[in-house]
Amino acid sequence: MVLLCVVGLCAMPLIDLAKLDLLDTALFLSFLPVFAGILQGQDTIFVLLGAFASFAFLLKSQDIAAGIALGLVTLRPHWAIALAIPLFFTRRKAFYAFCMAASVLVFYSWLLVGTEGFRGLINSTLS
């Protein structure tokens, strides 16, 4: 639920509310791959939304919003690192916003699973 709120906040500046049509939204959500992915708990749509929103914000020179949107990509850390490294060299403000957003998501994950959950993740990764 929190992830959906973050996605909504990242997508709001990209949506022209005057052109938003309820039928378009319903058609998008009823598209079988999108609908099945959401029902199965796939995170691909959130990762892609974060990446596309980040690029859209970068094109508008809104670096802080771009970094926060890129924070959604931390659901797939290898993609997030690959997309964030160029920001370190070109747009530091966006990179720092990404680091803050990623830190908030890591802290939220820690609140959900606790220290033992993080230890289990590290142990399973190392073995």
- Listing DSSP states for 59-76 in one string gives HTT-HHHHHHHHHGGGGS
pLDDT mean across residues, the chain: 79
Give residue 21's pLDDT: 60
Q: What does the alpha-carbon distance between residue 36 and residue 9 come to, in Å, rounded to a whole number?
A: 23
Give residue 18's pLDDT: 47
Give residue 75's pLDDT: 85
Token readout for 16 is: 């022209």
Is the pTM higher than 0.75? The answer reads no
Band the pLDDT of 12: cuts 50, 70, 90. low
pLDDT tens digit string along 24-81? 666 666 666 767 777 787 777 788 888 888 888 888 889 999 999 999 898 888 888 8
Give residue 7's pLDDT: 54
Give residue 25's pLDDT: 62
Token readout for 117 is: 């959950």
The yes-or-no verdict on residue 14 having pLDDT over 90 is no
pLDDT tens digit string along 85-120? 999 999 999 999 999 999 998 898 889 888 998 888
